[in-house]
Each structure stands twice: as C-alpha cells, then as structure tokens.
C-alpha cells in the first residue's frame, strides 16, 4: 500500500510534464487512487495556484438569462423536448438590473449564461454588452451562450465581451454522440472553441464528471485535450440527473472524483481559472470549500432574479439560495475564509 502511494506520489510530481505520462500510468493514478493520493494532489495543486494567484479566490456573478433552448442534449433539464421545463427569458433591462445589484455586492465579472435561444441575436447582445461595459468599465463580461457562428463570436467580442465559456462536454467522439442528439458534434464544438480562442476571448472548456457512459479512458482524453488546448478557464462539475431527461435514472458523478480531477487540472495548467462549480456545491454542501482546497480559485454565485432561479433547472436539486446566492456573498466570504483563502472583488483576469 505504502509503495503504491509512493509510486503515485512520483506520478503526481511529474504531472506538469503530463504529455510524457502514458495512458496506463494515468489510468492507474485515477482508478487506483487512494485518499493519500488525493491529499498530496490537493496540496500540490493549492501550492501551484498560490504561486500564481496568491491567496485570492475570484467571484463571478452568474446571470441565467434564458431557459429556452433549441438543443436537445440528453443530460440537460432545459433540453428542447422537456415539455415540463418552465421557460423564461430575461430582457436587457432585467439583465442590466442584475448587473447593478451585482456591482453593489462587489462583483466585477458578470457571466451571461443561457440555453441557445434565438431571441438573443447579435444586435441585442452587442447593445447589451456595450451598455454593461460602459456602465461598469472595470468589469469583465463572460458569455456562456453555446455554439454561434464565428462571425457572431467576433461581433460580441468587438462589442466588449471578454471571456467565453463553452464546455467541450467530452473529448471522445462516440461518447459525445451518446450524450447529444444527431446534429450536434464534437468536431463543431471544438471548432467553436478554437475560434473563440483565436478571436482573443479568455476561453473556457470543460466536462461533466460521471456523465452517463463515461469511462476513465474518456477522462484521460478530456485531460489530454485540456492540456493541449490550453484554455484560460476549465469548468468541471459532477453530472447530476434531471428527472425529465433520458438520463433520469443514471447515477450522479461524485464530489470525490470531481475534486481529484480539479487538482489534476490545476497541475496540468497552473494558471487556469478553475471554478468550484454550483454542481459540486449541490452534491456536497461543503463542495465549494473542498473545491478551493483541491486547487480551484473561482466561485460563481447566482445573480439571476430570485423568481427565475428554479426555472433554470439543468439538473435536480440545484442549490441557488444559501451561499450560492449572490446576495449572501458575506456568508460565502466567511466560508471561503475557513480554507485560508480570501474572496476578492478583483476582476480576476487570466494571469497571461
């Protein structure tokens, strides 16, 4: 047992030169992980993170702008064919109100996330982004609005958007097809990611941990993709089933593996902006803090109007009141402080 851990320890120390590690060794590190491995990984991940970002944990205000979606991703509660989903969309005025509230609470990044909803055409979004940036020139605007054309991404960037989150979901083609309907492809997803990065966005990819059919080999592919793409941000969280989707009876991913992978990702890309996600906070009430202790350095409290939060239901049981809510930022602050870190109001750009 001891030698095994010692060997894993050596692997952990070598993670930065990840490309040299064989799939067999990586499989071992993931499949035969021990608590001691997780502890060592987390410790190294925290050290690496602190070398770059010091004691800061950045906060982003998440505004869920629409629960309408033209896509039909099999895992997602707001998929088009879910007739039980309650649909809403925020108009630009409501979104600006959220920013005003958020700014007063100390937020300096606004994340606009939603289903793929045609209501938000380029014209509307460019005007909205322009207004946010002129009212709050010291803030960053992050978009997470799915796949759009290269031209659209460019227009939104020129209007002032700074960052874009688009999880690749899985780096394995067959697995991608098991999670998505025909018409959506990994190839297109990656093309969008490359486009976003080349335009100049701080770009984020990511995947769900424990999604249906996911194997360790898929996770290794995800890690290799992340390492080679070199995103500025990586969003990972456990898959959590939603009762009105084909995956309603599939088991959720675990916090334990999510945390382990957060640490690995921090070591692969020391500078990455890595959130302790809402999904992690949903399956484990201490998920946020544990995420920070595993190497994450971003939290994204919910800044949507309270009456729509339940309707943006990607998975069951989503936490959105408590410390997840932007208005409880004080409580979040003291909880983050228990990790020895400090929640900061800084805009929190990638350390280029």
> Which stretches of the chain bind ligand SAH, using CB under 6 A?
75-76, 113, 115-116, 144, 146, 166-167, 169, 208, 237, 239-240, 242, 279, 314-315
Residue 75 or 107: which CB sits closer to ligand SAH?
A: 75
Q: How far is the CB of 215 from ligand SAH (least distance, A)?
A: 18
CB 336 within 8 A of CB 289: yes
Give 38's Cβ-side CA count (13 Å radius).
Answer: 18
Residue 245 or 344: which CB sits closer to ligand SAH?
A: 245
Residue 144 or 344: which CB sits closer to ligand SAH?
A: 144
Q: Which of 144, 187, 180, 219 is nearest to 72 (CA)?
A: 180
Q: How far is the CB of 18 from ligand SAH (least distance, A)?
A: 23
E strand or H helix that includes residue 59: strand 56-59
**Cα 256 from Cα 284, distance rounded (Å):** 9
Q: How far is the CB of 286 from ligand SAH (least distance, A)?
A: 18
Residue 26 or 240: which CB sits closer to ligand SAH?
A: 240
Q: How far is the CB of 115 from ligand SAH (least distance, A)?
A: 5
Q: How far is the CB of 105 from ligand SAH (least distance, A)?
A: 23
Residue 313 or 344: which CB sits closer to ligand SAH?
A: 313
Q: How far is the CB of 66 from ligand SAH (least distance, A)?
A: 9
Residue 8 or 163: which CB sits closer to ligand SAH?
A: 163
**Which residue has its beta carbon closest to ligand SAH?**
146
Give the end-to-end CA distance of the chain in Å, rounded to a whole number. 41
**Nearest-10 Cα torsion for 248, 307, 296, 197:** 90
Provide the b/e sequence for 279-307 (b: ≥16 CB within 10 Å): bbbbbbeebbbbbbbbbbbbbbbbbbbee
Q: How far is the CB of 76 from ligand SAH (least distance, A)?
A: 4
Residue 98 or 314: which CB sits closer to ligand SAH?
A: 314
Q: How far is the CB of 10 from ligand SAH (least distance, A)?
A: 33
Q: DSSP letters of 2-49?
A: HHHHHHHHHHHHTGGGGGGS-HHHHHHHHHT--HHHHHHHHHHHHHHH
Question: Helix, strand, coil shares of the chain as percentages rounded to 5?
Answer: 45, 15, 40
Sheet with 342-344: list strands edge to edge: 298-299, 56-59, 342-344
Residue 40 or 287: which CB sits closer to ligand SAH?
A: 287
């Amino acid at each position: 047992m001891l030698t095994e851990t010692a060997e894993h320890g050596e692997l952990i120390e070598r993670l930065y030169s990840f490309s040299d590690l064989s799939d067999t060794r990586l499989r071992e590190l993931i499949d035969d992980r021990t608590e001691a491995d997780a502890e060592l990984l987390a410790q190294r991940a925290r050290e690496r993170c602190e070398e770059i970002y010091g004691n800061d944990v950045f906060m982003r205000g998440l505004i869920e702008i629409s629960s309408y979606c033209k896509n039909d991703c099999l895992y997602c509660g707001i998929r088009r064919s879910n007739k039980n989903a309650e649909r809403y969309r925020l108009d630009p005025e409501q979104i600006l109100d959220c920013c005003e509230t958020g700014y007063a609470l100390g937020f300096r990044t606004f994340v606009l996330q939603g289903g793929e909803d045609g209501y938000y055409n380029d014209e509307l979004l460019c005007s909205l982004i322009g207004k946010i940036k002129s009212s709050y020139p010291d803030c960053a605007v992050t978009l997470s609005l799915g796949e759009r054309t290269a031209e659209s991404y460019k227009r939104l960037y020129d209007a002032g958007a700074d960052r874009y989150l688009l999880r690749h979901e899985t780096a394995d083609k067959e697995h991608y097809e098991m999670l998505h309907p025909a018409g959506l492809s990994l190839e297109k997803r990656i093309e969008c990611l490359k486009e976003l990065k080349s335009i100049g966005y701080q770009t984020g990819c990511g995947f769900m941990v424990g999604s249906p059919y996911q194997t360790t080999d898929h996770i290794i592919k995800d890690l290799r993709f992340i390492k080679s793409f070199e995103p500025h941000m990586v969003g990972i969280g456990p898959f959590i089933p939603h009762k009105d989707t084909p995956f309603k009876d599939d088991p959720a991913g675990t916090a334990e593996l999510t945390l382990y992978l957060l640490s690995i990702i921090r070591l692969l890309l020391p500078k990455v902006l890595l959130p302790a996600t809402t999904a992690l906070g949903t399956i484990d009430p201490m998920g946020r803090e544990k995420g920070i202790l595993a190497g994450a350095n971003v939290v994204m409290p919910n800044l949507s109007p309270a009456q729509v939060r339940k309707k943006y239901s990607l998975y069951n049981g989503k936490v959105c009141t408590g410390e997840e809510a932007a208005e409880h930022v004080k409580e979040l602050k003291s909880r983050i402080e228990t990790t020895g870190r400090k929640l900061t109001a800084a805009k929190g750009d990638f350390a280029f």
